[in-house]
Amino acid sequence: MIKFRALALLFAFSLPAHFSKADQPNFVFILADDYGIKDVGIEGSTFYETPHLDKLAKSGMRFTQGYATCQVCSPSRVSIMTGKYPARHGVTDWIGAAAGTKWNRNDKVLPSEYVHGLPAEDTTLAEAMKAAGYRTFFAGKWHMGNDVEFSPLQHGFDINTGGGHKGSPYNGFFSPFKNPHMEEDATGKSLPIELGERTAKFIEDNKDGQFFAYLSFYSVHGPIQTTEDLWTKYQKKAKGGEGTDERFIFDRTKGVRQVQDNPIYAGMIESMDDAIGIVLDKLDALGLAENTVVIFTSDNGGVSSGDAFSTSNLPYRGGKGRQWEGGIREPYYVRVPGVTKAGSTTEVPATGTDFYPTILELAGLPLQPKQHVDGVSLVPVLKGGDLPERDLFWHYPHYGNQGGEPSSIIRSGDWKLIRYYEDGREELYQLSKDIGEHNDLASAQADEVKALSAKLDAWIAETGAKIPQPDPRFDAVKKEQQLKQAITKSMEKLEKQHSNFLDPNFKPNATWWGSKVTKD
């Protein structure tokens, strides 16, 4: 409470003299879960259908090089709330993952210990908005700590609908939801539609004041589930065989989907898009669209390995949990009435830490550079300008469930360097010429590697990033055998999954791949 009062006084005495509170825009921030950049129609998908999201992207500015701050969820989510990189705030893996000596897999290094909740000393974006007089609302997935110390209500939100410690839905995507943080719905709606409608109701209830609504979908995280109607629609569409004949490959540690043809996942995407439409339509119906900033992004790349192998992120390599572009590059759309030009795009690299200062500036509020230390305001870009060139960083000292390897990354201009902690090797890619990260230039560009490696060293030291240490229990011979088995099992599962998708008589059930087709 003391923190809120101090912030309120700060904003009260530091608003620009020309700024009228009546002119402050509203904000709707929409965050998807595990949703890859290529899962959107406007980004090139011809299998998934996202008319509402496409319309939003076309009505504002689309960042073609927008990033999450991590290849898994919790770190990215905390970065949006704090304006800090995971290496700095300490939440470097999804909360609940094993680390340190509790790691029981046969791997070369022990994943680093990490912070298990949104740090209390940070002033969250929601706290800053609430202190400035905004009514704050959270709906959906939180996954930033336990329900006792780290709930949305304790970090700046007036209302919490559905946000708790879990990273996946409490009882799947159809009612009964059995979510202790939201009232039960008895109408049989899907979870994304329910969250969209509750967000729309909050907007209507607060149409006469300033609001900050944060709609954080559990979609499209597993378990992947859809309705029978949507399953049938996309199962028929999948017969078109979109993509490459090579539907699956084995990339270093796991099999990877190379084509978008998963009808269950496609149905999930359509349901989430419909929910986005509910919120956007409400803004239009209430005449609020011209005074509401709308932002959409995702917390990490689409799941192409592990879990349900749901999608393909091609031409980007990898996906959720992995260190390549498919794991960190995201849909990143911002619509600011009177500021952004409809249909505009920018190649300026942006990341999840940038939302905090951007929203503050758009609201006419003073920036808090000591808080959002790793973010910059994107307002100059939204107005059609540019930003000074800067380096972007990632730090994931863990093993991803989807095959990701402990690593740190620096992107500097056109170059991307990845450092691996298992053996210290470094890969170098020139993204403008090799967006698929297939041509490692580390040997040919030794000077560039040396310069980027020194920058990465300095950043790691400055942030106090934790480095994984060798695991004395590691058995190299056993690891080689495990890898051979993984190749066989992974590819067999993927081929079986695909043949089932194309069989018109096949119907998934609750135990198949964690998936379920649910009747309307």
CATH number at residue 443: 3.30.1120.10
Q: Tell me if 139 sits within 8 A of 120, measured CB to CB.
A: no
What stretch of H or E contains 345? strand 344-346
Query: Smallest Cα–Cα separation from 173: which of 155, 187, 156, 190?
Result: 190
74 — phi, psi (to 5°)? -55, -45
Is the same domain home to 100 and 178? Answer: yes
Per-residue pLDDT band at 253 (split at 50, 70, 90):
confident
Query: Smallest Cα–Cα separation from 230: which of 174, 312, 170, 185?
Result: 174
Is the same domain home to 275 and 129? Answer: yes
Whether residue 13 is contained in a domain is answered as: no
Whether residue 435 is contained in a domain is answered as: yes
Range of the domain at 297: 24-388+476-518
| Domain count along the chain | 2
Q: Tell me if 382 sits within 8 A of 359, measured CB to CB.
A: no
- Say if residue 254's pLDDT is above 90: no
Q: Which of 89-103, 441-455, 505-519 has the lowest mean pLDDT?
A: 505-519
Is the same domain home to 435 and 286? Answer: no
Q: Residue 349 sits in a domain of what CATH number?
A: 3.40.720.10
pLDDT tens sequence across 334-367: 999 999 999 999 999 999 999 999 999 999 999 9
Is the same domain home to 299 and 361? Answer: yes
Is the same domain home to 419 and 271? Answer: no
Strand partners for 430: 415
Rounded distance between C-alpha atoms, residue 274 and residue 276, angstroms: 5
pLDDT at 397: 98
pLDDT tens sequence across 22-31: 679 999 999 9
- Say if residue 19's pLDDT is above 60: no
Whether residue 121 is contained in a domain is answered as: yes
Whether residue 9 is contained in a domain is answered as: no
Is the same domain home to 180 and 326? Answer: yes
Per-residue pLDDT band at 307 (split at 50, 70, 90):
confident
32 — phi, psi (to 5°)? -95, 160
Is the same domain home to 333 and 447? Answer: no
pLDDT tens sequence across 209-219: 999 999 999 99
Give the mean model confidence (pLDDT) for residues 69-85. Answer: 98
Rounded distance between C-alpha atoms, residue 234 and residue 127, angstroms: 42
CA dihedral 262, 264, 270, 275 (to 10 degrees): -140
Per-residue pLDDT band at 502 (split at 50, 70, 90):
low
3-state helix, strand, coil in the chain (%, to 5): 35, 15, 50
Q: How many CA atoms lie within 13 A of 115 on its CB side?
A: 22
Is the same domain home to 366 and 497? Answer: yes
- Say if residue 507's pLDDT is above 70: no
Give the mean model confidence (pLDDT) for residues 375-403. Answer: 96
Judge if pTM exceeds 0.75.
yes
- Say if residue 434's pLDDT is above 50: yes
Whether residue 14 is contained in a domain is answered as: no
Is the same domain home to 256 and 159? Answer: yes
- Say if residue 394's pLDDT is above 80: yes
Is the same domain home to 463 and 487? Answer: no
Tokens of 221: 């995280």
Whether residue 90 is contained in a domain is answered as: yes
Query: Smallest Cα–Cα separation from 348: which of 387, 294, 380?
Result: 387
pLDDT at 106: 92
Whether residue 291 is contained in a domain is answered as: yes
- Altogether, the residues listed in the chain come to a count of 520
Burial profile 446-476: b = 16 or more Cβ within 10 angstroms, e = fewer? eebbeebbeebeebbeebebbebeebeeeee
Is the same domain home to 480 and 463? Answer: no
For strand 135-140 and strand 159-161, is the pairing parallel, antiparallel, or unpaired? Answer: parallel
Q: Which of 228-242, 289-303, 380-394 has the lowest mean pLDDT?
A: 228-242
Whether residue 7 is contained in a domain is answered as: no
More confident residue, 271 or 2: 271
- Say if residue 510's pLDDT is above 50: no
Q: Tell me if 24 sits within 8 A of 303, measured CB to CB.
A: no
Is the same domain home to 200 and 324? Answer: yes
